[in-house]
Amino acid sequence: MAVSSNDEIRILTPAGMLGYGFPIDHLKMGLALKPHAITIDAGSTDSGPQKLGLGEMTCSRESYVKDIEVLLEAQHEVRVPLLISSAGGDGTNLHVDVFRDIIAEIAARRGWRFKLAKIYSDVDKAHVSRELKAGRIEPLGPVPPLDQREIDAATVIVAQIGAEPFNKALDESEGIDVIVSGRSYDPSPTAAMAIRAGFDPALAWHMGKIMECGALCAEPVGRTVMGWLRHDHFEIEPINPAERCTTASVAAHTLYEKTHPFRLAGPGGTLDLSNCKYEQVTDRRVRVSGSRFEPSTHYTVKLEGAKTSGYRSIFIAGARDPIFIGQIDEILTRVIAGTRAYFKEVPEEAYRIIPHLYGKNGVMGDLEPVRTPAHELCIIVEVSAATQGLATAICNKTRTSLMHAPYPGRIATAGNLASPFTPLEIPLGQACEFNVYHLMKVHSPTALFPIQVEEIA
């Protein structure tokens, strides 16, 4: 395994998200720059709670096979560690094992050998309950306090892995080729490699923070990015010659999807970027210095979990009649009241009927500043209830009532809705909801995260 020189560690990140694909030419150009490690993140809460709630993955298994095979081929060739974080998107143990199986299949098919470390991040719910009782769990931001009912309701709870478990995995066993981790703080793999090589943790976390998004810090935004970390600064450059990093694009990157541009909290501390210096080194490369890291008094990890919350069905319909559109709110209110009266045996709070009116306020809801509806509407009515059958039945009643609802001035007496699809009611399956997003104090940065090493051949 290559080790970093004393002066510099080089990290290559092929893309900001595993499974979305990346240009193989750019990966090869990056490998020619002799990285000491390849890091790539698969994690995100951004596409919804259904991954944690129902065990789904962000991308299809086939997408992961495709990307992982390209990365394993690169690892096989250059023999530097390949670190893949937040397997499957949510980073559950289940998805760490899916990634492990994908790697084993590819290795068997191609005749390759890898020494693989897996880092798991599911947290036992009984442990979470004990820590909650001990007063060691707090909400992260505008989140309700955790309670036992929500712990019970969560399908699974994961904790975010910091840098330490990656380094423990690399230290415990010589010659690790590949690490697949559970839910990880996105910058952890890059930061871990740099911290382990003896570089400033502040610069390590900052470079990790930028690189976890691939070449999103470039103009135009791209995929593959290379970082050079030295003792008092790091440099960053996109691999694609058509993209460039500028002082503005790199400085502004930490705005993206972050609560605060200069204060970024993570496992073990907060990165403070308020005094950073950004210098244009070449046309396409930026040098960053002045990052600071404030260790927190207590080491905390972020917990994430989601629960299922009944079943949903929807119908989708168009409306074009201006007499109808002009009264849509009143008509819907009457139709929903009628549906509720018809299903009077079902407790009112046991189901919801939520209209989405595209062309009126479908995107912004109550915050929509424009009050005049468009000349046509797309009406989606969302119904959630305890079972799929009940959700579909209530959806059906709402749709047929709306189709035939009378209203003042009605002259189109055959029907109010233009329905594009069958089934007219569309079952959506189970709905999910994030219900754990909390910080938990831990005694050790590594104790929650079991590491297993195996030879894949």
State the residues that interact with another protein by CB under 8 A: 45-50, 140-143, 248, 251-252, 254-262, 274, 276, 309-310, 312, 352, 354, 356, 362-367, 369, 382, 384, 431-435, 437
Q: Which is nearer to another protein, 132 or 265 (CB)?
A: 265
| Dihedral sign (CA 221, 222, 228, 231) | positive
Q: Which is nearer to another protein, 99 or 315 (CB)?
A: 315
d(CA 185, CA 39): 13
Minimum distance from residue 431 beta carbon to another protein (Å): 5
Q: Which is nearer to another protein, 309 or 396 (CB)?
A: 309
Peptide bond before residue 187 is cis, with ω within 30 degrees of 0 = no
Minimum distance from residue 283 beta carbon to another protein (Å): 20
Minimum distance from residue 48 beta carbon to another protein (Å): 4
Question: What is the token pair recorded at 356?
Answer: 């989405």
Question: What is the token pair recorded at 106?
Answer: 């590819």
Please, where are the H alpha helices in 254-320?
none
Instruction: Provide the β-strand partners of residue 279.
Output: 287
Minimum distance from residue 133 beta carbon to another protein (Å): 24
Q: Which is nearer to another protein, 246 or 446 (CB)?
A: 246
Minimum distance from residue 397 beta carbon to another protein (Å): 18
d(CA 322, CA 44): 42
Q: Which is nearer to another protein, 262 or 299 (CB)?
A: 262
d(CA 176, CA 118): 10
Residues whose CB is less than 8 angstroms from the CB of residue 263 and which lie 6 or more positions away in sequence, other chains included: 270, 271, 272, 273, 274
267 within 8 A of 296, measured Cβ to Cβ: no
Q: Which is nearer to another protein, 392 or 435 (CB)?
A: 435
Q: Which is nearer to another protein, 28 or 356 (CB)?
A: 356
65 within 8 A of 106, measured Cβ to Cβ: yes
Question: What is the token pair recorded at 15?
Answer: 């893309």
Minimum distance from residue 304 beta carbon to another protein (Å): 8
d(CA 267, CA 36): 24
Minimum distance from residue 59 beta carbon to another protein (Å): 16
- List the Cα angle 299/439/118 in 5-degree steps: 70
Minimum distance from residue 438 beta carbon to another protein (Å): 11
Q: Which is nearer to another protein, 293 or 311 (CB)?
A: 311
Residue 365's identity, in one-letter code, is: G
